[in-house]
A = this chain, B = another copy of it.
């Protein structure tokens, strides 16, 4: 027999132990139940996509992080013979949005119109491994493709907030909302040219991290017009007012872009009024979000006490068009699944009030049997207990029963059972372990 070899999972990936799988599964099922109740339906795409699609997808930094799959057979031999650098033809998806756009372009004739899609699945990025960041992780998205109405945003916001509450027991949620068209209007109002807009957004997006002075410095360094920067500086205190109303901003900016303001007003009024208790929706003209593909509404959810966002999304009306040849309105909301599972684990896992439990409320019973004992009676007893809703595992009695009961407790069993003389199971509770 060979010596022990390296059995660690590949760098940056991880094995998931049963307790955590159950936490993840329970969260997933609760999220799915909410999304389904809003009429969304799950779709699936392959993990592999053509490199041509992935590399040409405006995925920004993510494109550099693609795990590329080596060509096979004659294609590989030809590439090697020719000394070609094009040794790969496929890649592992780095998000679920690029595959969704391809899926819709390919299958739209067979799909509902609009498509209300749920996607929960792994994505891969060859990032430098660091604490809490993995090279394979789960994304959890809902998207509506094919519908032009603020109703889309309203449903996405309500469904996402309800899912966050159901799966993670997050009672307090702050939803911030903005619109890229309003950001454009701000840029235009200050005097930024249309071609300067992207770099203005990038600078403005850093307001949280570097403050007003940092943003202004970046704009100056980029050589923007001094008067433009001045106008922007004058507007900043208005934009940074925590409870700025849409109307107040409209007044400050003057007439124009009524469509965007009206759109956002409809969403804020309707979704704001229908949010679950503890969640609130606030217009925030400083919300930018990084992705270049957004074309309209953008939103982000944060939790008091936790930095960064726990969910985010927006409208991207021009992404599908690049594949299909005609634009298809699209809007999506993505839950930060890995981050929330980590928070759930830290808060005490399934024990946390309102959080995802590890499956249903069934008792996990270890039915301890002697090896060579009456198997038939044990099977019958297990069947009876299962019929009553319990989860029953037949476990062979070990020599050290005390140690065995400790181990069973440690691994999440609620009770152990033995058969009495007439084959009836006698169930005794195990003291529930402290979950770390």
User: How close is A39's CB to chain B, nearest CB, in angstroms?
Assistant: 2
Known interface pairs A90-B10, A111-B17, A379-B158; A4-B323 also in contact (CB < 8 Å): yes
How many residues on chain A are close to B (CB under 8 Å)?
104
A359 pairs with B36, CB closer than 8 A? yes
User: How close is A301's CB to chain B, nearest CB, in angstroms?
Assistant: 18
Whether, in the assembled complex, A49 has its beta carbon less than 8 Å from a beta carbon of chain B, the answer is yes
Taking CB atoms and an 8 Å cut-off, the chain A residues in 133-165 that contact chain B are 135-136, 147, 149, 151, 154-155, 158
Known interface pairs A47-B122, A149-B396, A323-B4; A22-B42 also in contact (CB < 8 Å): yes
Residue numbers in B under 8 Å from A359 (CB-CB): 36
Residue numbers in B under 8 Å from A316 (CB-CB): none
User: How close is A156's CB to chain B, nearest CB, in angstroms?
Assistant: 11
B45 pairs with A9, CB closer than 8 A? yes
Residue numbers in B under 8 Å from A149 (CB-CB): 371, 396
Whether, in the assembled complex, A195 has its beta carbon less than 8 Å from a beta carbon of chain B, the answer is no
A362 to B112, CA, bound (A): 19
User: How close is A400's CB to chain B, nearest CB, in angstroms?
Assistant: 12
**Nearest B residue (CB) for A358:** B41
Whether, in the assembled complex, A422 has its beta carbon less than 8 Å from a beta carbon of chain B, the answer is no
A22 pairs with B45, CB closer than 8 A? no
A18 pairs with B112, CB closer than 8 A? yes
User: How close is A223's CB to chain B, nearest CB, in angstroms?
Assistant: 32
B107 pairs with A325, CB closer than 8 A? no
Taking CB atoms and an 8 Å cut-off, the chain A residues in 360-407 that contact chain B are 362, 364, 366, 369, 371, 375-376, 379-380, 382-383, 386, 390-396, 407
**Nearest B residue (CB) for A103:** B15
A89 to B371, CA, bound (A): 45
Whether, in the assembled complex, A293 has its beta carbon less than 8 Å from a beta carbon of chain B, the answer is no
B375 pairs with A266, CB closer than 8 A? yes
Known interface pairs A5-B323, A21-B43, A149-B396; A376-B274 also in contact (CB < 8 Å): yes
Residue from A3, A8, A48, A326 with most neighbouring chain B CB atoms (10 Å): A48
Whether, in the assembled complex, A354 has its beta carbon less than 8 Å from a beta carbon of chain B, the answer is no
B2 pairs with A45, CB closer than 8 A? no
A137 to B173, CA, bound (A): 38
Whether, in the assembled complex, A106 has its beta carbon less than 8 Å from a beta carbon of chain B, the answer is yes
What are 6 sample pairs from A and B whose C-beta atoms fall under 8 A apart? A4-B323, A16-B43, A36-B359, A69-B69, A69-B92, A154-B375
